[in-house]
């Protein structure tokens, strides 16, 4: 049976226990490895062999975790619908490791009921650009989290992008709706632009290139420009030009302004529902 001591090298990420290695869990794992992750354990019954490094272990469930393994953090990356069935098996790590949950909707109080009163809990919402280390994560620490544990979580989350912290946990529901689900809204825009281009006679391959490069290029410009989004939009919109004509459709009272607000409100409500 292997033991997993804390790392000796300065700056190395200490051993973690990753529970669930789907798309987001896998993206975070890759980011940690790039920053010197110490030997760790991944719990995932469906994990593929290429997830493993020689110094790591992949196990199917909590029962297969060696008794002498002492992770610094337990990252909860399972589907929120499975939390009640999965999480209690990890309560034995409470009091030592910090629990970092990236499950949508699951509150600190709800996690505490499943993991015990001694559990130090951090709830976070990353997003899929974490796969290319361009994510944005918002996190909220529970009352039992000291500065060292919070710093560790900040390091883990920062390996895949920018991190912001909030004191009010209730903000994580709209955060989930805006940034957690937001990449899907952007992908939908690219999808619809591509479709519309084809409808106007542009060849499909070119339509896809135009849509994708327009969305990704505009996003890159937005990332470096200090001006707000409204100012950037206005700069592209010439009076009586093509953009102005298009925006008169998209910005109609019942179009994008209303629909985006309605969509974010619906996603926020769903995040709250997942708490139960």
pLDDT the model gives residue 222: 95
Domains of the chain are: 16-169 (3.40.50.720), 182-273 (1.10.3730.10)
- How confident is the model over 207-254, as pLDDT tens digits? 999 999 999 999 999 999 999 999 999 999 999 999 999 999 999 999
Question: Per-residue pLDDT for 8 more than 50?
Answer: no
Q: Which two tokens stand for residue 276?
A: 């139960």
Q: What is the pTM of this model?
A: 0.88
DSSP string, 137-164: EEEEE-TT--HHHHHHHHHHHHTTEEEE
Taking the C-alpha atoms of residue 267 and residue 77, their distance in angstroms, rounded to an integer, is: 19
Instruction: Supply the DSSP symbol for 47.
Output: -
Q: Give 21 or 212, the one with higher predicted confidence.
A: 212
pLDDT the model gives residue 223: 93
Q: Which two tokens stand for residue 256?
A: 């994008």
- How confident is the model over 103-114, as pLDDT tens digits? 998 999 999 999
- For residues 63-71, give the mean pLDDT: 95
- For residues 68-91, give the mean pLDDT: 95
């Amino acid at each position: 049976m292997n033991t997993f001591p804390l790392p000796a090298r300065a700056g190395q990420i200490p051993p973690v226990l990753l529970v669930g290695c789907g798309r987001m869990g896998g993206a975070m794992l890759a980011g940690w490895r790039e920053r010197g992750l110490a030997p760790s354990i991944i719990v995932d019954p469906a994990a593929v062999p290429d997830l493993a490094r020689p110094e790591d272990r992949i196990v199917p469930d909590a029962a297969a975790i060696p008794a002498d393994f002492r992770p610094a953090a337990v990252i909860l990356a399972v589907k929120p619908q499975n939390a009640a069935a999965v999480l209690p098996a990890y309560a034995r790590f409470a009091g030592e490791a910090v629990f970092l949950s990236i499950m949508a909707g699951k509150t600190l109080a709800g996690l505490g009921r499943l993991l015990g009163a001694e559990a130090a809990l951090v709830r976070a919402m990353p997003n899929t650009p974490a796969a290319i280390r361009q994510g944005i994560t918002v996190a909220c620490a529970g009352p039992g989290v000291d500065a060292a544990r919070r710093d560790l979580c900040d390091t883990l989350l920062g390996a895949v992008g920018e991190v912001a912290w909030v004191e009010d946990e209730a903000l994580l529901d709209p955060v989930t709706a805006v940034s957690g689900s937001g990449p899907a809204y952007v992908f939908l825009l690219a999808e619809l632009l591509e479709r519309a281009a084809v409808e106007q006679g542009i060849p499909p391959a070119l339509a896809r290139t135009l849509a994708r490069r327009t969305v990704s290029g505009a996003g890159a410009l937005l990332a470096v420009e200090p001006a707000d989004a409204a100012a950037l939009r206005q700069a592209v919109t010439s009076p009586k030009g093509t953009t102005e004509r298009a925006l008169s459709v998209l910005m109609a009272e019942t179009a994008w302004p209303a629909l985006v607000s309605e969509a974010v409100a619906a996603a926020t409500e769903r995040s709250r529902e997942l708490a139960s």
